[in-house]
Homo-oligomer: A and B are copies of this chain.
Amino acid sequence: MVARRGRRNGSAVARKLDADNAPTAEIPAVEVANGSDPVRAKSIPEAAVARLAVYLRILSAMAEQGATTVASEELAGAAGVNSAKLRKDLSYLGSYGTRGVGYEVRVLVGQIERTLGLTRQHKVAVVGIGNLGHALANYGGFPGRGFPVEALFDVDADLIGVPVGGIPVSHLEDIPAVCAERGISIGVIATPPPAAQSVCDCLVAGGVQCILNFAPVVLQVPEQVEVRKVDLAVELQILSFHVARRADESNGAHPVGNGMVVR
- Chain A positions within 8 Å of B, measured between CB atoms, are 1-4, 10-13, 16-19, 21, 23, 27, 29, 31-32, 36-38, 40-44, 46, 49-50, 52-54, 56-58, 78-80, 115-118, 120, 122, 124, 130-132, 134-136, 138-139, 142-143, 145-147, 185-186, 209-210, 212, 216, 218, 223-224, 226, 228, 230-248, 252, 255-256, 258-261, 263
Contact = CB atoms under 8 A, between A and B. Distances in A.
A17 B11 CA distance: 15
Nearest first, the 4 closest Cβ-Cβ pairs linking A and B are A117-B244, A131-B135, A143-B233, A210-B239
Contacts of A185: 243
Given A18-B18, A139-B232, A261 B13 contact: yes
Contacts of A80: 218
B142 A233 contact: yes
Contacts of A23: 2-3
Given A147-B236, A186-B236, A233-B142, A31 B258 contact: yes
A232 B19 contact: no
Contacts of A135: 130-132, 134-135
Contacts of A130: 135
A39 to B, nearest CB: 9
A156 to B, nearest CB: 16
Contacts of A40: 245, 248, 252
Contacts of A52: 237
Given A37-B252, A230-B235, A237-B116, A258 B27 contact: yes
Contacts of A116: 237-238, 240-241, 244
A229 to B, nearest CB: 9
A186 B80 CA distance: 22
Contacts of A136: 232
A225 to B, nearest CB: 10
B259 A216 contact: no
Contacts of A246: 209, 224
B238 A228 contact: yes
Contacts of A237: 49, 52-53, 56, 116, 118, 143
A237 to B, nearest CB: 4
Contacts of A32: 259, 261, 263
